Amino acid sequence: MISNIDDSISSINDFEFDFEDCRPATDDETANWLLDDGPVLRTTWIVHDRQFADGQREISASRFVRIKGALPNQNRAKRGDSEKKEQNNEDSAKRAKQAVRLRCKSISADRMITLTYRENMMDWNRLLKDWDSFRRRMAKYKQFHYVATVERQERGAFHIHVAVHGRQFYQLIRYIWQKIVGLTEDGKPGGQINVRDPNKFGFGKHGAHKLAGYISKYISKDMETHDLNKKRYWSSRGIRVPEKNYYQLPYGTDAFAAFSHVMQLAADHNNDGMTFFSNQALGVCWVATAPTI
């Protein structure tokens, strides 16, 4: 569900809210909230803020319900043996999508390279072997920071999408990939690379955060493609994802005020190419902003 806070708001550039009652809770307010002996269920809003080195920012507000007293421990099923295997696989896919998005932003990825096969290549083991050879050979020539995911097309063929930062030595990448894949029976190169133009598709300076979301969509929850023990993405070593800060809004803050608080923080930071998601039923609002440097 993609929406603005209110239909009357026509542009995020015009956000001006009065936040006298929407602010981080004080230490005393937080302490009182934690020690409160009121009703069994108490609801508040928690704001999370994560800032990346290039100025990108992710801000979210989520509804939090405090339950007085401890809940009984539940026996956890072994990995892969749970009756809720499908739900576990879906949850795993969601975590992988988030990991891909955050790693892309951490390396300021603004370009996407796609490694393809000329033939209808559907061999997962071969894909893994070819990718491993590719990343090893690339590492010999230059420092290669990347985040990679796999797309399985409707016809069953595999492609590898690789998010990188800055213009690459594409001739070298093509040479290495074609060397690994080899030739077809008629003597033609068995592989090719495609480069997604960052400006044409909105992945330039003010849209790099969109690429992170774009490439993460290729994380599949298809049980045939990714069971619980298979890797859903690859990334180079040394990628540091910044920690997120969080704070509680004053007790009694409603959804509109919480969402408005997030939007104002984002608009004050950098509203170029801002991405906004909200769902009041789920009690969540999420905003991503573009790089500032």
| Residue range of the domain that includes 117 | 85-235
Packing angle of the helix pair 124-141, 170-181 (nearest 10 deg) = 140
Neighbours of 161 (CB within 10 A): 23
Quote the pLDDT of residue 39.
Answer: 61
**Lowest model confidence (mean pLDDT) among 7-16, 85-94, 161-170:** 7-16
Asked if the structure places residue 14 within a domain, the reply is no
The band of 227, judged by pLDDT with boundaries at 50, 70 and 90, is low
pLDDT band at 284 (very low <50, low <70, confident <90, very high): very high
Q: Residue 262: what residue type? A: V
**pLDDT surpasses 90 at 115:** yes
Domain-embedded: residue 50 = no
Question: Secondary structure of the chain: what % helix, strand, coil (to 5)?
Answer: 30, 25, 45
Could you tell me if residue 16 is inside a domain? no
81 or 130, which is more confident?
130
Dist. CA 290–CA 293, nearest whole Å: 9
251 found inside a domain: no
In a domain, 129, yes or no: yes
In tens, the pLDDT along 179-224 reads 999 998 888 999 999 998 766 666 656 666 788 888 888 886 554 4
Helix 85-106 vs helix 208-216: angle between axes, to the nearest 10 degrees?
150
| 166 part of a folded domain | yes
Is 174 domain-assigned? yes
CATH of the domain at 105: 3.30.70.1910
- Is the pLDDT confidence value at 110 over 70? yes
Of 32 and 285, the one with more pLDDT = 285
**Does residue 282 sit within a domain?**
no
Q: How many domains does the chain have?
A: 1
| Digit-coded pLDDT (tens) for 26-77 | 878 777 766 666 666 678 899 999 999 988 999 999 998 877 655 455 555 5
Q: For a pLDDT cut of 70, what percent of the chain falls above it?
A: 75
Query: In this predicted model, what pLDDT tens digit does every residue of 120-153 receive, in sequence order?
Result: 999 989 999 999 999 999 988 877 889 999 988 8
